[in-house]
Amino acid sequence: MVVKEDLKKISDFIWEIPKSYRSDMNVPVRIFASEKMLDEVFSDRSLEQLINVSTLKGIVGPALVMPDAHEGYGFPIGGVAATKIPDGVISPGGIGYDINCGVRLLKSKFTFNEIKNNLESLSREIYHYIPSGVGRGGKLKLDKNELDKVLKDGANWMLENNYATQDDINHIESNGKLDNADPTIISDHAKKRGLDQLGTLGAGNHFVEVDFIEEIYDEEIAKTFGLFKNQVTVLIHTGSRGLGHQIATDHIKIMMNVMPNYGIKIPDRELACVPFNSPEGQNYFNAMAAGANFAWANRQMITHLMRQAWEKEFGKGNELSLLYDVAHNIAKIEEYQIEGEKQSVIVHRKGATRAFPPNHPEIPQDYQSAGQPVLIPGSMGTASYVLAGTQKAMEISLGSTCHGAGRRMSRKAAKREVHGKALRDELRERGIFIQAGSVPGLAEEAPIAYKDIDEVIRVVDSIGIAKKIAKLRPCVVIKG
């Protein structure tokens, strides 16, 4: 078991476990955390999982974990790792079951004072328009041919069918579409699970949240992003729903069966993997891309429904525009300077957000001077943040940063300590209006179940892998 004495301090916020720690490690591992956060990192298996990641075939550079780290499936949540192309492995555990779980932020022209008397009725409208909860279907019912088009074209299908604007598409990571997506690889069972789930939140930590900007840290970049103090915004956090989960389930099973054929041995069966250039590796990568496209389409449909609720509450002419949409559970081919040479690698991000710097060709034209918007939600009773990507992230963290506050308490433990109704009443006293399908289930997502989001943001800002731009405070929360 890893203890603090095993860590080498690189700087105030960067710690390393050297490759010599265990004989099967191929690279060292690095932890981004403040000293006071380390106890939480040692409280579960996240560091042991990160060490296991370092043993994967073809891994290059350190295996990384962000300050929101906690135990996951195979990889720790908050984990980032790159493997070589063509024969390094790809592992579904490095992406997660909720393929392209991600966040988008919508901007309004309102200030908080202009809508504060509408918050309760707004919460009811949003809850009415946007389906949430386990297995809950949406208003948009697709046939199999239409679903295949969504899987292939992602948010672009939404544009063709009048659920999106071109401005929306321009402000989504990868323009809401991964070109290698192949719907023919996806099982009928996975497709069946997705037929009625476009435009649905699901449950767990997914939400729609109305916030206002409490603080601006960088006026120039905030202006570039179209943000101002006291501005009302909307955060949407969800992913690929049951379809993405089934894609992961199907391909993990396949990989576990064929790993012996490739001579792959792993220290944890949850790290099931195959060479990227193998038929199974390519099939998973292309199926994952289709799942990612579905998730972008899902968040776009929720945006469409959110706009309907907004118009119902405030009338026409009070539009919501998209700041950005970014994934935090995904694998992508990217290029980095590694061990003195430029290499194309498969970057696995599992609960980690892309954070590309100014002038990067993959970020929207209107943000080129500022860097990529980085969206980091907290918990429903605390703050969320907008940051900007940096060159430092490209140099030390594979263009990545944290994705949220990170759990510090299991769902069961949270339910033992918190009563859902009492939490809802307490948040209402603080001016936060909650609508939820399961009031007892609210306890699972109580603020005490999560790490200190302010400390998480302080770490990534201090290291320089994302730059703090704005702090948001919640006033309406919709959960499953």
CA distances in angstroms from 416 to 70, 144, 290, 408, 412, listed in the order given: 20, 43, 38, 14, 6
Let me know if residue 296 belongs to a domain: yes
- Structural domain tally of the chain? 1
- How much is the pLDDT for 39? 84
- Quote the tokens at residue 69: 């780290």
Contact 376, 389 (CB under 8 A): no
Which is nearest to 66 in space by CA: 466, 476, 477, 460?
A: 460
Residue 409 and residue 432: Cα distance in Å, rounded? 22
Helices and strands in the chain, H and E counts: 15, 19
- How much is the pLDDT for 22? 97
* Cβ partners under 8 Å of residue 264, min gap 6: 57, 89, 273, 274
Local mean pLDDT, 10-residue blocks, the chain (480 residues): 92 97 98 92 93 98 96 97 96 98 98 97 96 76 95 98 98 98 98 95 91 98 98 98 97 98 97 98 98 98 97 93 98 93 96 98 98 95 96 98 90 84 88 86 84 96 98 93
Dihedral Cα 350, 207, 354, 356, nearest 10 deg: -170
- How much is the pLDDT for 21? 97
- Quote the tokens at residue 428: 């209402």
pLDDT one-digit tens code per residue, 41-73? 888 999 999 999 999 999 998 999 999 999 999
Let me know if residue 414 belongs to a domain: no
The number of beta carbons lying within 10 Å of the beta carbon of residue 34 is 15
Q: Please list the active-site residues.
A: 403
Let me know if residue 8 belongs to a domain: yes
Let me know if residue 101 belongs to a domain: yes
For residue 102, give the CATH number of its domain.
3.90.1860.10
Angle between helices 279-314 and 119-129 (to 10 degrees): 140
Global model pTM greater than 0.75: yes
Let me know if residue 10 belongs to a domain: yes
Stated as kind and residue range, the H or E segment containing 455 is helix 453-463
Classify residue 114 as exposed, middle or buried by CB count within 10 Å of its CB (0-12, 13-18, 19+): middle
Contact 409, 449 (CB under 8 A): yes
* Cβ partners under 8 Å of residue 411, min gap 6: 444, 449
Eight-class DSSP state of 327: E
Structural domain of 167: 4-408+450-479
